Amino acid sequence: MAREHPRHVPVLLERVLALFAPVLSDKPAVLVDATLGLGGHADALLAAHPRLTLVGLDRDPSALAMSRERLAPYADRVHLVHAVYDEMPRALSDLGMSTVDGVLFDLGVSSMQLDEADRGFAYAKDAPLDMRMDQTAGITAADVLNTYDAADLARILRDYGEERFAGRIAKAVVAERGRELFRTSGRLVELLYDAVPAASRRTGGHPAKRTFQALRIEVNGELDVLRRALPAALAALKVGGRIVVESYQSLEDRLVKQVLAALAKSTTPEGLPVELPGHGPQLRLLTRGAEQADETENDHNPRAASVRLRAAERIREAS
């Protein structure tokens, strides 16, 4: 039985196990958990498949340390690597691996990162404006707010947060930092309550939700990393191997959908009577659209409410 961390409930765990079972059961296999987090999915996969070797990647040293402890019973079958998931090719090469049977992405901010107030991810808690998934490197959310010009701030809020009032918020941030630089999330939340019109606050959810998402994506380069990571992961999949991706916001899900759909189509020009050699689909989609959690799981795990799961199987070598 997989052990559960008291703060971590893996999202769509049974569905993830079912999707990987055909390619991991009853044989030696390798799976990359590209976003290891607290190791909930990894723990369950290792328990279900005694011949599985798991490569776990995470950019957060704290998460790696906690997962190392959790996965200690499987230590001889686990390789944990401090890396962002677009560094998968290097991580596999360092381990002497070139292809794998499965890749799992559970995107977004982890339960641990939300729970620890000093990380600055949660707008419900006043904390330093950090938001780095790896606190050993990179710029913080405070750096973004205090140094980006109004046009760049508006672009980030619009593109990464899908914030309708991006320009208005950006101008307010620039004006306010002229009086005092931003250091804590509480002060930013106060500004957002003032900047977002009351009518929108009544119908559009918490006024800080979209801004905090945009800042987190910018600080961690999440969409750029995902754009690089998906092709790398798919290139590493053996024929018959599977990829499963859990996304928690529309920008990620749209990108995943586009990448998987493109490789699930033939590239033979329309009108030709036969499939050209080497032009057939590389992937078979395993989900019809994006799958969501059911009501029961949503009731037990609030993080599941926004999940969108997509999966595919490699059916042909990459050209």
Query: Residues annotated as binding site for S-adenosyl-L-methionine?
Result: 39-41, 58, 85, 106, 113
HSE-CB for 216 with a 13 A CA cutoff:
22
Distance (Å) of CA 235 to CA 27, 42, 98, 260, 286: 22, 22, 9, 12, 18
Instruction: Please choose, from the candidates 53, 91, 103, 95, the residue with its C-alpha nearest in 3D space to the C-alpha of residue 74.
Output: 53
Indicate left, alpha or beta for 131 from its phi (over 0: left) and psi (-120 to 50: alpha). Answer: left
- Provide the 10 A C-beta neighbour count for residue 267: 14
Contact predicate 184/146, CB 8 Å: no
Q: Match 């290097």 to its residue by tokens.
A: 90
Q: Is 135 exposed, middle or buried (0-12, 13-18, 19+ CB in 10 A)?
A: middle
The residues with which 79 forms a beta bridge, in sequence order, are 55
> Token pair for residue 60?
């957060």
- Return binding residues: 39-41, 58, 85, 106, 113
CA separation for the pair 88, 250 (Å, rounded): 24
Strand runs (DSSP E) across the chain, as ranges? Answer: 29-33, 52-58, 78-82, 100-106, 237-247, 283-285, 308-314
DSSP-derived secondary structure letter, 128: B
